[in-house]
Amino acid sequence: MRAGLELLEKDGIDGLSLRKCAAKAGVSHAAPAHHFGNLAGLKSAIGIEVFTIFSKYMLEASQREGESDIARLKGICRGYVQFGIDHKPWLDMMFGVAPIEVAKLRGDLGDSNAYQVLRDACAPFIPIGTAPNIVEFQVWSLVHGYTQLFLSGRLNQGTVAQIDDGPFDQVMSMLDLLASS
């Protein structure tokens, strides 16, 4: 698994193979197939692990940010961006493939757990009579769009090294509108 995560980080999803994982892990070339079944099984296991790590990033950042609902939501967004900075190839794998492929990658867990983190943080801001996914998609679109623009260097921040290199607080201040409604 560790070898697969490292290969994914280095070579992206297309560079992942059972043979490369075996070589990197120092095991027989048949070992990954025995453990995961095939490449799809390996990708699914890696996808679950990546989404689990992503969820931890968001939860840990939300705990550091503060106790109010809005601070918690902004913290989740900060964790989202930090995950992208630390693991861009993983983020690309998670959101850069067709939805049917994501379903194969995440197996039974994966992004449903990460999405639940976002859902829970958005829950206090859902107006009565509004479908929860409206607010969830608004927040997700804001943070995902910001993350992609930030990582691509399009926010004129130069080298992507840390969140504070970009206008994170200014952009995420849009979330304050949720708290005021």
Which tens digits make up the pLDDT trace of 117-148? 999 999 999 999 999 999 999 999 999 999 99
Give the pLDDT of residue 101.
53
* Angstrom distances, CA of residue 91 to CA of 36, 79, 81, 180: 22, 12, 10, 31
Domain boundaries, the chain: 51-180
Give the pLDDT of residue 97.
55
- CB-CB neighbours of 6 under 10 Å: 14
51-180 has CATH 1.10.357 classification:
yes
Token digits of residue 23: 């070589």
Dump pLDDT digits (tens) for 33-92. Answer: 888 888 888 888 888 888 899 999 999 999 999 899 999 999 999 999 999 999 998 888
Q: pTM, whole model, 2 decimals?
A: 0.85
* Angstrom distances, CA of residue 132 to CA of 16, 43, 75, 179: 37, 31, 20, 15
* Higher-confidence position of 81 and 1: 81
Give the pLDDT of residue 49.
87
Confidence of residue 109 (pLDDT cuts 50, 70, 90): very low
